[in-house]
Amino acid sequence: MEPLRVLELYSGVGGMHHALRESCIPAQVVAAIDVNTVANEVYKYNFPNTQLLAKTIEGITLEEFDRLSFDMILMSPPCQPFTRDLLIQTIENCGFQYQEFLLSPTSLGIPNSRLRYFLIAKLQSEPLPFQAPGTDGVPQN
């Protein structure tokens, strides 16, 4: 199996990139996108071989998205309630099924009790291949 080609939006300092690397899933982050100049400097230090685009996601053209030829998007949006509503609307409009999770890192053996929001999406023609711990695996849409 070829490594997944991953686009990282709202990349910050690269926390999602690091989590992906630690997951041992065969993947390559083909580009990271963030407007925060300080975060981008840290990201470049952490991941010097990853293409970093200092722009807003609204500033990316469809042609740029197509050229990146990615299989998966990782993101860590800064304003989750607003972003979640916009994301759900976009996911539904594009024909994806999705499942949302609120998980505490402690349920995964990580000593941090702050709840985190996760969303997994897949084209409706294909079943979701996984589910989060403690969930029934039923999509939320």
Active site residues: 79
Q: Which of 106, 105, 103, 98 is nearest to 130 (CA)?
A: 98
Contacts 24+ apart (CB under 8 A), 32-38: 32/8, 33/7, 33/8, 33/9, 33/57, 33/60, 34/9, 34/10, 36/12
Strand partners for 28: 5
* CB-based burial label for 118 (10 Å; 0-12, 13-18, 19+): exposed
Q: Tokens 């304003």 appear where?
A: 79
User: What's the CA gap between 103 and 114, in Å, rounded?
Assistant: 8
